[in-house]
Amino acid sequence: MKFMGLNKGEWSELYAILYLLENRNLKIVDSDLNIIDECIYIVDEIISERKDGEVIFLIDDSFVTPIILGDECTRISIDQICELRRYLYHEIVNAEMGPGAFNINFVQNWLEEHQLDTKFKAKSDVKSDIALKNIDIQTGQRVKLSYSVKSQLGSPATILNASSHTDFCYKILNFPKDRINEINSINSSTKLVDRIQRIIELGGEIQFNNVKSSIFDNNLRLIDSDLPHILGQVLLSSYITGIKNLYMLFESVYGNTVFARKKLSDFLFAISFGMFPGSPWNGYNTVDGGIIVVASDSEVYVLDLIYFKNQVEQYLFNQTKLDSPSSRRYNMLNLYEENDEVYFTLNLQIRYK
């Protein structure tokens, strides 16, 4: 089967695997990516669960043995892995910026030679990208942990993708219906902010109505029964104030730093490690190891959920923000009448900074 091109994020997942095959001591870092410890975990196996099956990499001191769909393949020297990793890094960082897929012929040919040509396209229905079987130096146990891979080599990734499931609906009270067309005709470069400001100027009172997707609404209620309403307030406030900092927005809604921190933490952990807006969620996260960060300096770091969960939390606080998806695509802030009431929608999207 012909190897399809990958985007920078997908190539970075392969880079992370190659790096960890070569450098088995995980570099555990704090929220600012400063190394805390390199002597907690030693990688014993890497498991890549792809669309067409599972690839296991068994590691010893000098060689890696891939096992593809249960079949053991020819051993690969760590020296070869190192050479390929360096070449791959150079190609990723020198590729044009953008979301599109691209080919790296030398790497693709190498993967085909080792029967790995179709194995690096991640599943889209799970948050985990790779799993590691680590030797925990503190306990002596061999533990399997799943990780999400985030890359600094391309454009900042979304943590919660905009879709029809992330539409939030608002009702406008005390609004003159003969001004609906006036609002909808505002097409400035900041039209969403300008439309909200004009609604307020005309005496409209904006009230959160509901999350349009019952699936996403139920998922949010598993975290907190008030979370749909809180996120509705947060999203609206961001367009009124121009603030995109999630912690500041949560704090302004809750009026209590302890509540704001806990509820934002629960939400960010859910969308990072388990929940998709369009799929029913059971409240449990599939990522239990943490975040593997492919850094711009070519290093690979780990934010660890087992021993340093607070650092993962702070990293998510520091590195995520509200984003503005396409207003045209998601029909945002186009006023409409329904049952003699006036409504509009806003769409929720969250990405890394």
Q: What share of the chain is helix, strand, coil (3-state, %, to 5)?
A: 35, 30, 35
Q: What is the pLDDT of residues 110-145, one digit of tens each?
A: 998 888 865 555 566 789 999 999 999 999 999 999
CB-hemisphere CA count at 13 Å for 271? 25
| Global confidence as pTM | 0.93
Q: What is the pLDDT of residues 286-316, one digit of tens each?
A: 999 999 999 999 999 999 999 999 999 999 9
Q: Is the pLDDT of residue 85 over 50?
A: yes
The 3-state secondary structure of 303-316, one letter per residue:
EECCCCHHHHHHHH
Q: What is the pLDDT of residues 206-216, one digit of tens each?
A: 999 999 999 99
Tokens standing for residue 101 = 């897929």
Q: How far apart are CA 22 and CA 17, in angstroms?
A: 9
Give the model's pLDDT for residue 1: 45
Q: What is the DSSP letter of 98?
A: S
